[in-house]
Structure 1
Amino acid sequence: MADTALNRRVLVVAILSAFVAFLDGSIVNVALPAITTELGGGLPVQQWVVDAYLITLGSLILLAGSLSDLFGRVAILRIGLIGFAVTSLACGLAPTADVLIAARAAQGIAGALLVPSSLALIMSAHRGATQARAIGLWTAWTSAAFVVGPLLGGLLTDFASWRWVFVINVVPVALTLVLLVPLRNEPAVQRPPLDLVGAVLGALGLAGVVFALIEQANYGWSAALVWVPLVVGVVSLVGFVVRQAVAQHPMMPLSLFRNRNFAVGNIATVAIYAALSVSGLVIVVYLQQVAGLSATVSGLVMLPVTLCLVLLSSRFGALAGRFGPRWFMTLGPLLVAIGFVSLRSIETPFDFVSQALPGVVLFGLGMSMTVAPLTSAILGAIDSERSGIASAVNNALSRVAGLVAIALLGAVIGTLVDDAWLDNALLLCAALMLTGAITSAVGIRNPPRIAAANSSAHDTE
């Protein structure tokens, strides 16, 4: 197979693998009302259906990155894809809410194997300008998964059943497994030991904190069922950080954060992806449960965001490669924040053009300006031989930000879904996006060669 064709196949495999993992973090949102109508449980079950997946996905991405480096990206991708198909079927066949939540947690484990391996596959197969373009395409499509999910999920929920939201995963997984066949697996020559202690501390810490944040709405902070997991979770997370500082082969090398752009970029990531996760949940839930829209129509409301991401992300990624990521990472989240404020016009009766269209267009344009420059700033700050772990850290933080934000939703804005609930949630999302914009403006530095080139161009004018 010619190198060009091989690299193209690698890119398609990488995009499909990560896309299906990210899609499942958002496709379920529009199906949540239908799930609780059939299985019961209300908002707490809705939160757990989302967060059970994100807990295992976010807490195990770092470990999955290490497994990918040790045993080879292709091998880990293949295992992850097969596991994702099996657990997706388990979700679709779940007879009760408890079984569905357990299957979602198992699905997150499989999803964790897909994300770092897919981007590491691109980094190893592409070089120079083609690598930057490949990262831009990967970022565009995986980011689009956050907003294409509600549309696809709505269609499946309305015209088939919420169960097909999970079963449909078998189709892209099967296609990706076929495309993987000609690719060679290249495991590491040297295999340092895995940081299993760090993995356990990280997973236990996240699970404890998120469990407490969700269940406090039902039992209150004074209940032992809430504060005991919270204490165990906080202690475990502190232990995780200590472990990473002293371990010989840490899951998350703290030395990465000594690089300014890597550290600042990840702070911006936490704020931006927390807002993205919360907005993706609250908008579609409100449109169905209060405005009375079908799952399909509520998904269509966010279609302009998807179109902007697919059509414009690569272009803004190229511009950021030329002019540096700083101001794209600043202006993009700022536009999204304005879009969220604009979306507070949504009310009942719902009118798409007057209430939602300006906001979702600003949302899509702003995210298109943000995602590729953000990824490039973070990965470009780290030596190429550590790009795999740098990608895993960034993806882990973005997933953790989303799950903690959703878990906090009930505590911060309440559990009664009405006009005030949506308004407060959108203000929270706007504040988070504004935090990402300010963090980028103050903290991000354009690479020296770009800054020098821009200065020279200015001097010659």
Structure 2
Amino acid sequence: MASSEVALPRPVGFPLRSAQGRRILIATVLGASLAGIDSNVVNVALPDIGRDLGASFASLQWTVTGYTLSLASLILLAGALGDRYGRRRIFLIGVAGFTFASVLCSVVPDVGGLIGARILQGIGGALMAPASMAILQSTIAPDDRPKAIGTWSGFAGIAGVLAPFVAGWLLSLGSWRWIFLINVPVAVIVLLVSLRHIPETRDGESSGMDWGGSALAVATLAAATYALTAIPANPRGPWAWVSAFVAVAAGIGFVWYERRTPSPMLPASHLKSRPFVMINVMTFIVYGAFGVFSVIFTIALETVSGYSPAKAGSSLLPITIISLVLARSSGKLAARIGPGLQLMVGPALCGVAALMALQVSPGAGYWSVVIPLQCVFGLGTATMVAPLTFVALSSIPGDHAGVASAVNNAVARSAALLWIAALPPLVGLTGASYTQSEAFLPGYRLTCIICAVALFVSSALAAAVFRSHTRCDRRPLLVHPLLHPPCR
């Protein structure tokens, strides 16, 4: 059947066990995997990129934050684009643009060009990410959505976690430039499957695009990122403080504008949903800690412990295995008992893993130190990601799935952006410190402690907010069953 002929069964969507449901899941999982591939690949390659291009630690930060900046800034607008013009269409444009930018990354002559290409990648990622989850939310049968989201959250990370191992192997054979070409064959598969098998869906009530809000969001995040990077390194630099002022002014302008525009990126009604607000607060804490920890941990294995890129990348494999085993079960369990328990336990386990990472030192054992902490971290993420994602999507009406997905993605990406920009210089990771074990280790250890504390705070927040959702609810079912699971 041609893609134009694919239609949703009314009114429920495709069962996950159907051939069409499985094809939709495969395409969205692979599409989401592209962003995971790129993030993890770059983390492994940062030391090699820095040495080859003569880049400072601040420039290396921008190869990460440049991507995250455009992704976080535009992801809300991208969610609205999908709701209005078609989620499948926006998803395909994002995949194509992301792939083109990946090829550019592999041929740039200097670190400035790499940062520019990474910003273009972020634009493609912004179009892909909310559309991926919104397609699942709008095309899969309601009873199968928790299972689909659980499978998505686990398998979407597989390629992203395997990628560092492949990247390390490519780095040992040749140039870091090769690693960006990993995306190309995955993208070709996604485009072919999506064109043929994903039906088009959109929000019939979508009335306009918030271009002004998007511009203010870009200005806010760009200025804040520059200020957070520059002020700790050069507190007397005038441009750093000018950018801080611009960030505050643009942020205030964004709030003012969103309250008055007829087509806001974030409708005020969504902020009345307490589960939606609180799950996004948790997302900001958790994904901020994840973002900065993933960057410094990989560098620490190579700079402090002397691991090769291939060995450092392979240390992430336990997360893949645990995700494969537990992802779908995690989604099913959340649908059965509610999200509360998993949202408490998951961040706490990740916090324990961050404390275990303090053992990384010169000559740290691969099997005695690195693999155990990655297993604990993988268990924490597998426990938490599916219920967190599904609460974010199901706590506002289903017709606004694109906006809900975009908000949660924007919060996660903005958190990573701001944490990666602010924390390294605050703990003393500047200049060429990433090349010297003695200079890198103190800042690395302080960052691990800060990340652990943040994750424990997130666990406590979940206990306070979602504890009542760990048991069945005998009240009338007024919201999604994941938030108040019915008694059986």
TM-score where L is the length of structure 2: 0.89
Higher mean alpha-carbon deviation, 152-161 vs 172-181, is at 152-161
Offset from partner CA, 1:344-365 (integer Å, 9 cap, x none): 1111112122222332221111
Residue matched to 2:9: none
Deviation at 1:433, TM superposition (A): 0.8
Q: In the alignment, what sits opposite 2:215?
A: 200
Aligned-partner SS, 2:41: coil
Identity %: 33
Residue of structure 2 in register with 1:338 after alignment: 352
- Which residue number in structure 1 is paired with residue 40 of structure 2? 26
Q: CA deviation at 1:42?
A: 2.1
Aligned partner of 1:441 among 443, 451, 463: 463
In the alignment, which residue of structure 1 is the partner of 2:136?
122
> Residues 395 and 285 from structure 1, CA distance in 2 versus in 1: closer, same or farther, beyond 3 angstroms?
same
Structure 2 residue 423 is the aligned partner of structure 1 residue 409:
yes
Which residue in 1 is equivalent to 2:378? Answer: 364
Distance 1:247 1:444, change over 3 A: farther
TM-superposition CA deviations, 1:70-116 (whole Å, max 9, x none): 21112112211111111111111011100010110011011111011
One-letter amino acid of the counterpart of residue 450, structure 1? C
2:405 counterpart letter in structure 1: S
1:11 counterpart (14, 20, 25): 25
Number of the residue aligned with 2:148: 134
Counterparts of 1:245-284 in structure 2, within 5 Å, are 245-284=259-298
Per-residue CA distance 1:195-241 (angstroms, 9 max, x = gap)? 100000001100001011122344x1221121111110121122112
Note closer, same or farther for the CA distance 1:186–1:359 as it changes in structure 2 (3 Å cut).
closer
Per the alignment, residue 195 of structure 2 pairs with 181
Equivalent runs, 1:222-301 vs 2, <5 Å: 222-301=236-315
| Contact residue 215 and residue 226 of structure 1 kept, 8 A | yes
Q: Distance in 1 between matches of 2:280 and 2:446?
A: 25
Which segment drifts farther, 382-391 or 399-408? 382-391
- The answer as to 2:419 corresponding to 1:374 is no
| Alpha-carbon offset, residue 371 of structure 1 | 0.4
Closer, same or farther: CA 254–191 of 1 in aligned 2, 3 Å: closer
The residue type equivalent to 1:443 in the other structure is V
User: What letter is aligned with 2:118?
Assistant: R
CA distance in 2, matches of 1:207, 1:148: 31
- Residue 324 of structure 1 deviates from its aligned partner by 0.7
**Letter matched to residue 141 of structure 1:** F
Q: 1:43 to 1:288 in 2, by over 3 A?
A: same
Aligned residue number for residue 477 of structure 2: none
C-alpha distance 85-354 of structure 1, shift in aligned 2 (>3 A) = same
Question: How far did residue 448 of structure 1 move?
Answer: 9.7
In structure 1, what residue type is equivalent to 2:372?
Answer: P
Sort the Cα spacing of 1:408 and 1:191 in 2 relative to 1 into closer, same or farther, 3 A. same
Partners of 2:338 and 2:485 within 8 A in 1 = no
C-alpha distance in structure 1 between counterparts of 2:391 and 2:414, whole Å: 20
Give 1:311's match in structure 2, choosing from 325, 335, 339: 325
Give the 3 Å change call, closer, same or farther, for CA 199–351 of structure 1 in structure 2: same
Contact 1:147 1:280 in 2 (8 A): no
User: Which of 178, 191, 194 is 1:164 aligned to?
Assistant: 178
Q: How many residues align?
A: 456
Structure 1 distance, partners of 2:352, 2:291, is: 17
CA root-mean-square deviation: 2.0
CA-CA distance at 1:445 after TM superposition: 5.5
1:421 aligned residue (443, 456, 460)? 443
2:235 is the alignment partner of 1:210: no
- Once residues 157 and 342 of structure 2 are traced to their aligned partners in structure 1, the CA distance between those partners, rounded to angstroms, is 16
Q: Distance in 2 between matches of 1:270 and 1:345?
A: 26
Deviation at 1:144, TM superposition (A): 4.7
Greater mean alpha carbon deviation, residues 242-251 or residues 394-403: 242-251
Q: What residue in structure 2 maps to residue 450 of structure 1?
A: 472
Deviation, structure 1 residue 31: 0.4
CA deviation digits over 1:258-302, x for unaligned, max 9? 211111111111111111111111111011122221111011122
Q: Choose the corresponding residue for 1:100, options 111, 114, 126.
A: 114
Unpaired runs of 5+ residues, structure 2, are: 7-13, 435-439, 475-483
Q: Which whole-Å CA distance do the structure 1 matches of 2:133 and 2:93 have between them?
A: 16
AA matched with 1:451? D
The answer to whether the Cα contact below 8 Å between 2:83 and 2:202 also exists between their aligned partners in 1 is yes
Q: Any idea what SS the aligned residue of 1:293 has?
A: coil
Contact 2:77/2:214 (CA < 8 Å) preserved in 1? yes
Aligned-partner SS, 1:252: coil
For 1:313 and 1:139, locate their aligned partners in 2 and report how far apart those are by CA, in whole Å. Answer: 7
Partner of 2:85: 71
Residue aligning to 1:57: 71
Question: CA offset at residue 410 of structure 1?
Answer: 2.5
Asked if the contact 2:232/2:426 (under 8 Å) is kept, the reply is: no
The 3-state SS of whatever aligns with 1:248 is: coil
1:392 aligned partner: 406
Offset of 1:451 from its aligned partner?
2.9
Moved more, 99-108 or 7-16: 7-16
Contact 1:335/1:362 (8 A) holds in 2: yes
Aligned in 2, Cα 1:148/1:221: closer, same or farther, shift over 3 Å?
A: farther
Alignment deviations for residues 330-380 of structure 1 (CA, whole Å, 9 cap, x no partner): 011111111111121111112122222332221111111100011122222
Change (3 A) 1:247 1:144: farther
Distance 2:266 2:213 in 1: 9
Deviation at 1:143, TM superposition (A): 4.3
Give the TM-score normalised by structure 1: 0.94
CA contact (8 A) 1:324 1:451 kept: no
Distance in 2, Cα, partners of 1:146 & 1:403: 18
Is the CA contact (8 Å cut-off) linking 1:146 and 1:280 kept in structure 2? no
CA distance in 2, matches of 1:237, 1:61: 16
